[in-house]
Chains A and B, each alone.
Chain A
Amino acid sequence: MDLPEQDTFPKLLVRNAEALGDKVALREKEFGIWQSFTWRQYCDRVRDFALGLVNLGMRPGDKIAIIGDNRPEWVFAELAAQSNGGAAIGLYQDSNLNEVAYVIDHCDAAFVVAEDQEQVDKVLDMIPKLPKVKHVIYTDPRGLRNYRHPALLSFEQVSAQGRAFDEANPDYWLQGVRRGRGEDLALICYTSGTTGFPKGAMLSFQNLLTMALSLNQVDRKLEKDEFVSFLPLAWIGEQMMSLATALAIGFTVNFPEEPETAMENIREIGPHVMFAPPRIWENLASSVQVKVMDATPLKRLLYRTLMPVGYKLADLNFKKESVPLQWRVAYWLARAGLFRALKDRLGLSRVRSGSTGGAALGPDVFRFFHGIGVPLKQIYGQTEISGISCIHRDGDIRFHTVGLPIPGTEVKVSETGEILSRSPSVFSGYYKNDEATAETLRGGWLHSGDAGHLSEEGHLVVIDRLKDVLRLSDGTQFSPQFIENRLKFSPYIKEAVVIGKDRPFLSALICIDMAIAGKWAEKRKISYTTYTDLSSKPEVYELLAKEVDVVNETLPVAARVRKFVLLYKELDADDEELTRTRKVRRRFVEERYASIISALYGDEPEVKIDTTIRFQDGRTSRINATLRVRSLNVEAR
């Protein structure tokens, strides 16, 4: 695939500023109103900040670490770094002190752009361990009035210095932009990694832009499209959309007012393009189920009668069968009576390109969205291949697959069953980790660590992480993640970890959804105090046993969950049980709850827990509880 003449992000920015000028490039909701930046203003802000950095002594090749919520300043800082010949590193906003210090130090960042007091505190707390950091630049001055650290500067100050520099040296910035080349390092993306320390994947402009443009060939985005950027910009998926694709296509990127208002803001914008990990789609689907529970009887009746029409049509479409006339009429009615209103409530009325990636999405959620008319597609890829290698094509959607490779990408399955891929978007290596690079890029192919196979139609089927795949007694491969996703479709289940590798049968650790299970309990006048208390209620156990039974019905007998416990706390990224992108870190979970797991495989009906949990503010609390082990009858009925 040939790259356009503008082969770097800053060059594309300059092109857009000239060609699109006064079209809105970015929007941010602030003070209750959507404030916009045109492409020209976008370019000016980037230039000012870039020259401010030059004025502070930034040299080509310097790295800038950025930490904070999704805001225009995030992308200004990233493009500024890149236009000076440097690279950007994004940090997850909820990273703790050690994670922040590790990444900033490992990537050799000379500058850190931190959004607010919270993030500045993290960096300044660790500054003695960060000798390479020259300046910490904040964007929100709130609460920082009395900070007197010599390294601390405000974004506005730096930009003002940049403006003065520009007046003294016109064209300086543009020359720097022109010197950039497609193969330059644009981004070091630290992968959250389900094991060990994060690794920094080095991605060039070429990697990112070929990916964006190849994807666009099979999943069209248009210049007039709206997109809402609400997932961490440190994540490759958000980089791909809000930076690479937005710059290449020229659509508008909208930043929510606050992370908590994201869903409300999505509804206000009505995006055409939406890319989100399964968690978001699952939450949307279960929010509908919960709201229906509370709705008036008429609405409940409408939902119960019309939703199956959507499911029926979705199933026909998945099978690529023609839709009989009576079903067309029924669907038309269902759309008028339910789906249109539902889509509007979710903010999905205009979604033309909706996709999910990062992990597998349960088939039930898939059917739900196709049922109400949101054309959801599964995407598959890794950070190391700039985000994407496969996607469903329009009209060719099978929810057990992740679709076909995008143009320019080859995908094959190795003899050990591992998914391998090759494309111009494959990264050049991990920063300062040649050993891991060589390991991942053996024989010129990117080794994903995922187990999978290709279906007859050439679709890629992803089973699970290679090391987690289960072999059932009859030899078929089975994925714990698949069962977990089925379980998580239950609104009462927030997180589930299925265990069974090298064990006689499958069992599950389940975290209830406090809000929804709590509401259920209130309705039945079951009183409870804390999460631990609620999750140990016999009634809640019975409720969850029924939910697990429903899932078991759909699984082969050997792959059914025979025992489960309800955990006394939610899995949390701060306890290293989840990655920052909220994937379960199976090894950590299995280690941490070893005593519970051994009870699941012993004959004990309950297990005593005596542990301490640490809160974010450093306080600890001792938990002393008895967890019941619930056995289920899984024989065919």
Chain B
Amino acid sequence: MAQLVVNDVLLQFGGVTALDRVSFQVEPGKIHAIIGPNGAGKTSMLNCISGVVRPQRGSIIFDRWELNKLSAHARTRLGLARTFQNIALFKGMTVLDNLLIGRHCHQRSGILRGGLYWGWGQREEIAQRKIVEDIIDFLEIQSIRKKVVGTLAYGLQKRVELARALALEPKLLLLDEPMAGMNAEEKEDMARFILDINQDRNVTILMIEHDMGVVMDLSHRICVLNFGELIADGVPDEVQRNSFVQMAYLGQDTASPETARA
């Protein structure tokens, strides 16, 4: 059974249709990519899933839960986590603190018990720190554990943001352009981390990415959006051969989806 079912989602901002009745499914344990030209509605799609915006129509079902009825923080409890295109970390705090904040949804002690610290609070803090340290080890960011995020290089900040998303212990991870602005070496590292997260930690991944080499190599399945419409959905080989996708990327608008599929 699919882990995420997007069904007939329509999102409009005033007269602009960002998503035009989009439907697709994400199978558990897969790496699923969304590609498309600028303004195609890719980030809007992630925003609908993570709860930043609410679509006017359609349903998004995650593990049998109808997400549209839930608040964003309730969605994280179900096992959804995301990263952002332009890094959204607490720049004035250390890497460690940023990750511990990522654990917030899993913390149970309230102000009183946490504030008293000794006993329950301490035990919980140790347990949370263990999970965070495991992620630090996994993403190889030991050397920056205590550095303030704002002082780090861009590529590293991206990795910290990924770490924070992992701290939520998600079942489905939404990545918005994880490789944007990275050099070849950083991209290679990030690709390896994405594969390892998928395989070793058993996390389903839905990502937006522009680097076609990365997308074709990593993804099990690819959706292509263009002007809010889903124009292709298939395994990398099919998508690559799809002439309409090629046209969308080359900027021609003569063909319609129907003729492309024919």
A residues sitting closer than 8 Å to B (CB atoms) are 30-33, 117, 142-143, 145-146, 257-258, 260-261, 264, 615-617, 619
The reply to whether B143 and A258 contact each other, CB–CB distance below 8 Å, is yes
Closest to B133 in A: A31
Asked if B142 is an interface residue, CB under 8 A from chain A, the answer is: yes
B137 close to A31 (CB less than 8 A) = yes
Report the bound CA distance from A258 to B136 in whole Å. 12
CB distance from B156 to the nearest CB of A (A): 11
Residues of B close to A617: CB separation below 8 A: 184-185, 188
21 contacts between A and B (CB under 8 A): A30-B137, A31-B133, A31-B136, A31-B137, A32-B129, A33-B133, A117-B192, A143-B195, A143-B200, A145-B199, A145-B200, A146-B199, A257-B142, A257-B143, A258-B140, A260-B142, A261-B142, A615-B184, A616-B185, A617-B185, A619-B184
- Smallest CB separation, A372 vs chain B (Å): 25
Rounded to whole Å, the gap between the CB of A5 and the closest CB of chain B is 42
Which of A31, A260, A615, A617 has most B Cβ within 10 Å? A31
Instruction: Tell me which residues across on chain B come within 8 A of A32, comparing CB atoms.
Output: 129, 133, 136, 142, 145
B184 adjacent to A261 (CB under 8 Å) = no
Among residues 184 to 212 in chain B, which have CB atoms less than 8 Å away from a CB atom of chain A? 184-185, 188, 192, 195-196, 199-200
| Bound form: Cα–Cα A117–B140 in Å | 14
User: B residues 125-151 with Cβ under 8 Å of A?
Assistant: 129-130, 133-134, 136-138, 140, 142-143, 145
Q: In the complex, how many angstroms separate the beta carbon of B137 from the nearest chain A beta carbon?
A: 6
Instruction: List 3 A-B pairs, minimum CB-CB distance, nearest first.
Output: A260-B143, A31-B133, A261-B143
Measured in the bound complex, the distance between the Cα atoms of B29 and A463 in whole Å is 63
The interface residues of chain B lying within 8 Å CB-to-CB of A142 are: 138, 196, 200
Minimum CB–CB distance from B140 to chain A (whole Å) comes to: 7
Q: Which of B136, B137, B188, B195 has most chain A Cβ within 10 Å?
A: B137
A31 touches B134 (CB 8 A): yes
Is chain B's binding surface mostly helix, strand, loop or mixed?
A: helix
Shortest Cβ distance from residue A140 to the other chain B in the assembled complex, whole angstroms: 10
CB of A260 to closest CB in B, whole Å: 4
Chain B residues with Cβ below 8 Å from A616 are 185
Contact B142 A143 (CB under 8 A): no
Closest to A618 in B: B184
Residue of B143, B188, B195 with most chain A CB atoms under a 10 A cut-off? B143
Asked if B143 and A264 sit within 8 Å, CB to CB, the answer is yes
- Inter-chain contacts of B130 with A (CB < 8 A): 31
For B188, the chain A residues whose CB sits under 8 A away are 617
**Hey, which chain B residues are within 8 Å of A146, CB to CB?**
199
Q: What is the chain A residue whose CB lies nearest that of B144?
A: A260
List of A residues within 8 angstroms of B138 by Cβ: 142
Q: How far is the CA of A117 from the CA of B199 in the complex (A)?
A: 14
A142-B196, A143-B196, A617-B184 given; name 4 further pairs at CB < 8 Å.
A32-B136, A32-B145, A145-B199, A261-B142
| Nearest CB of chain A from residue B47's CB, rounded to whole Å | 31
Output the least CB separation between B178 and chain A (Å): 17
Considering the chains assembled together, what is the distance between the CA atoms of A615 and B187 in angstroms? 14
CA distance A172 to B143 in the complex (A): 43
Give B199's nearest chain A residue, CB to CB.
A145
Which among B138, B140, B142 has the greatest number of chain A C-beta atoms within 10 A? B142
Residues of A within 8 A of B136 (CB): 31-32
A75 to B85, CA, bound (A): 44
Are A143 and B145 in contact, CB atoms less than 8 angstroms apart?
A: no
Q: Mark B163-186, 1 if CB is under 8 A from A, else 0.
A: 000000000000000000000110
Shortest CB–CB separation between residue A68 and chain B, in angstroms?
A: 14
Decide yes or no: A143 and B133 within 8 Å by CB, A258-B142, A616-B185 being known contacts.
no
Query: In the complex, what residues of B have CB within 8 A of residue A258's CB?
Result: 140, 142-143
Q: In the complex, how many angstroms separate the beta carbon of B146 from the nearest chain A beta carbon?
A: 9
B199 CB → nearest A CB, Å: 5
Q: In the assembled complex, how far is the CB of residue B103 from the closest CB belonging to chain A, in whole angstroms?
A: 15
Which residues does chain A contribute within 8 Å of B143, judged by CB atoms? 257-258, 260-261, 264
Tell me the bound Cα distance from A619 to B130 in angstroms.
39
List the A side residues contacting B137 at CB < 8 Å: 30-31
Determine the residue in chain A with the shortest Cβ distance to B145: A32
Chain A contacts for B185, CB-based, 8 A? 616-617
Q: A257 CA to B140 CA in the complex, in Å?
A: 10
Residues of B within 8 A of A261 (CB): 142-143
- The residue in chain B whose Cβ has the minimal distance to the Cβ of A118 is B192
Instruction: Note all chain A residues with C-beta closer than 8 A to B195.
Output: 143
Chain B residues, CB < 8 A from A264: 143
With a cutoff of 8 Å between Cβ atoms, the chain B residues found around residue A31 in the complex are: 130, 133-134, 136-137
Could you say which residues of chain A place their CB within 8 Å of the CB of B184?
A: 615, 617, 619
Of all chain B residues, which has the CB nearest A33?
A: B133
Residue of A nearest to B137 (CB): A31
B196 neighbours in A (Cβ, 8 Å): 142-143
- The listed residue with most B CB atoms (<10 A of its CB), out of A32, A146, A617, is A32
Q: Mark B15-57, 1 if CB is under 8 A from A, else 0.
A: 0000000000000000000000000000000000000000000
In the bound assembly, the distance between CA atoms of A142 and B197 in angstroms comes to: 10
B192 contacts across to A, CB distance below 8 A = 117, 143
**A271 nearest CB across to chain B (Å):** 19
In the complex, what's the smallest C-beta–C-beta distance from A58 to chain B, in angstroms? 30
Per the bound structure, the CA–CA distance linking A617 and B192 in Å amounts to: 14
* B133 partner residues in chain A, CB cutoff 8 A: 31-33
Shortest C-beta distance, B145 to chain A (Å), equals 7
Chain B residue with the shortest CB-CB distance to A143:
B196
- The CA of A261 and the CA of B200, in the complex, are separated in Å by 25
The closest CB in chain A to the CB of B135 belongs to A31
Q: Report the separation of the CA atoms of residues A145 and B199 in the bound assembly, to the nearest whole angstrom.
A: 8
Nearest CB of B to A328, in Å: 39
Q: With both chains docked as a complex, state the minimum distance between the C-beta of B94 and any C-beta of chain A, in angstroms.
A: 13
Cα distance, A32 to B137, chains bound together (Å): 9
A30 to B130, CA, bound (A): 11
Residues in A neighbouring B145, C-beta threshold 8 A? 32
Query: Cα distance A158–B84 when bound, in Å?
Result: 43
> How long is the Cα–Cα vector from A617 to B186 in the complex, in angstroms?
11
CB nearest to B131 among chain A residues: A31
Q: How far is the CA of A146 from the CA of B133 in the complex (A)?
A: 25
A617 to B196, CA, bound (A): 20
Chain B neighbourhood of A145, CB < 8 A: 199-200
Shortest Cβ distance from residue A552 to the other chain B in the assembled complex, whole angstroms: 37
User: Min CB distance, A613 to chain B, in Å?
Assistant: 13
Expressed in whole angstroms, the Cα–Cα distance for A615 and B184 within the complex equals 10
> Whole-angstrom distance between the alpha carbons of A291 and B143 in the complex?
19
A420 to B143, CA, bound (A): 44
A334 nearest CB across to chain B (Å): 30
Docked pose: A619 CA to B184 CA in angstroms: 9
Closest beta carbon of chain B to A419's beta carbon, Å: 40
Complex Cα distance A233/B251, Å?
56
Residue of B nearest to A617 (CB): B184
Distance between Cα atoms of A146 and B199 in the complex (Å)? 9
Tell me the complex Cα distance, A617–B200, Å. Answer: 25
**Which residues on B sit within 8 Å (CB–CB) of A257?**
142-143
Minimum CB distance partner of A262 in chain B:
B143
Interchain CA distance A258-B199 in the complex, whole Å: 23
B20 to chain A, nearest CB (A): 38
B46 CB to closest chain A CB (Å) equals 26
Give complex CA distance A53, B134 in Å. 30
Bound form: Cα–Cα A30–B133 in Å: 9
* Bound Cα distance A501, B15 (Å): 78
